[in-house]
Amino acid sequence: MPTRRQEIIQMLEHGQMSLYQIAGYFKVELFEIEEDLEHIQVSIRPRKLKRIPSQCKQCHFVFKERTKFRTPTKCPKCRSEWITDAMFYVE
């Protein structure tokens, strides 16, 4: 039986998923998947856990520098709360 972390790696090798989709799939709390992703990004080296960053749907600001896995609640530029979830994948 693969561990949950191994399963997440496999899923992210084959497609892109947000933190929220992964937590929903495994029916666990967000922080558990945040811990998994923290661990995965170290354990898969030299491969990388990559992301399509969150983006503000109002002004199109891209959260390029963000290292947290959760979606930011507000855009720093226009204050909109309409923000896309970052999508993660393994490359």
Q: Residues in the site for Zn ion, rule: CB under 5 A?
A: 56, 58-59, 61, 75, 77-78, 80
Residue 62 C-beta: closest distance to Zn ion, Å: 10
Residue 90 · residue 48 · CB < 8 Å: yes
Structure tokens at 16: 């892109």
Residue 86 C-beta: closest distance to Zn ion, Å: 15
Nearer of residues 21 and 58 to Zn ion, judged by Cβ: 58
In this structure, the dihedral spanned by the alpha carbons of residues 40, 87, 28 and 37, taken in order and rounded to 10 degrees, is 10
Nearer of residues 21 and 71 to Zn ion, judged by Cβ: 71
Residue 55 C-beta: closest distance to Zn ion, Å: 9
